[in-house]
Structure 1
Amino acid sequence: MNYSPEFKEALLRRMLPPNNESISKIAREEGISEQTLRNWRDKARKEGMAAPGIDAVPDDWSTQDKFLIVVETASMNEYARQKGLFVEQIKTCRDACMNANGGVAKEAARLNKELKESERQRKIR
């Protein structure tokens, strides 16, 4: 199956620092095989993107991954300094954004399922 570059990039951002979501979680949520996600991560590593393993602690990261993370986050650190933000404040903002819609998607899916079921029941009568 072909996925758009934007979709791949969005999933890579989820599995790489600072998010570090597990590949198995992303695979379940998106319906993509774990191997496909690993292949994308490995390709990103080869292209110079910092992509340490999800379970790896920073002390176990390769020198290359450590350097790339420093380079990639330098502008973010500068932005946070200029705005007077702390890491915890940024995490709080990120979490609020990630949970902004709550269970809207699940509720919509449940309602669609109920609608289909009621339509099916109506056809049977």
Structure 2
Amino acid sequence: MPRYSKERKAAVLKKLLPPENRSVASVAAEEGIANATLYGWLKTCRQQGVPVPGKRKTGDEWSADAKLAVVIETAPLSETELGAYCREKGVYPEQVQRWKDACLQGADRHEDQEKTAQKQRKEDRQTIKKLTSEVRRKDRALAETTSLLVLSKKLEALYGEDPDNEDN
């Protein structure tokens, strides 16, 4: 299994990543490197947070991780630097802005979901408290009924007749 220098690997990855976005098959044929090796390199780049396009070439079809990485990388950039970055990566500034807006909407939605979940938990606790109190009340009533039944049976055993039946 051949080993490749960091410089060669970087040059080959440059062909695969934006702005060139060449296919793995064409780069593999040109460089004489196995497709699996190139896919492994791309996977490693993805894991390191490098914006790597998926099977498709347009920026809007990149993975959510890659889009988030671009948004984070471009946050501190000026408009001129953003333009240069976008040309290098093969995306448009408008795409980056849409991705940023989507990230912010997701954060807002997450906060709303947290508030809703917290409200639901509070309601659940109140329901549990109410049901627990209802169970206690019913347990006391059952205990009282049971003790009355036992006393009734003892009285019947003592006198040998039903105390409620006074016809005898």
User: Under a length normalisation based on structure 2, what TM-score does the superposition of the two structures give?
Assistant: 0.42
Report the RMSD for the aligned CA atoms in angstroms: 2.9
Structure-to-structure mapping, 1:30-109, within 5 angstroms:
30-70=31-71, 71=73, 78-79=80-81
1:69 Cα shift? 3.1
State the partner residue of 1:24. 25
Query: Partner amino acid for 1:12?
Result: L
Q: Identity of aligned pairs, percent?
A: 34
The one-character-per-residue Cα deviations of 1:29-82 (angstroms, maximum 9, x if unpaired) are 01111110000000111011111214254333222211323426x869625869
Within 1, Cα distance between the matches of 2:55 and 2:21? 6
2:16/2:22 contact within 8 Å kept: yes
Give the gaps of 5 or more residues in structure 1: 88-125
Q: Secondary structure at the match of 1:59?
A: helix
User: Under a length normalisation based on structure 1, what TM-score does the superposition of the two structures give?
Assistant: 0.54
Within 2, Cα distance between the matches of 1:42 and 1:81? 27
Equivalent residue pairs, number: 83
Runs (4+) of structure 1 exceeding 4 A deviation are 74-77, 79-82
Within 2, Cα distance between the matches of 1:27 and 1:15? 10
Give the gaps of 5 or more residues in structure 2: 88-168
The change in CA–CA distance for 1:55 and 1:5 in structure 2 (over 3 A counts) is same
The change in CA–CA distance for 1:25 and 1:36 in structure 2 (over 3 A counts) is same
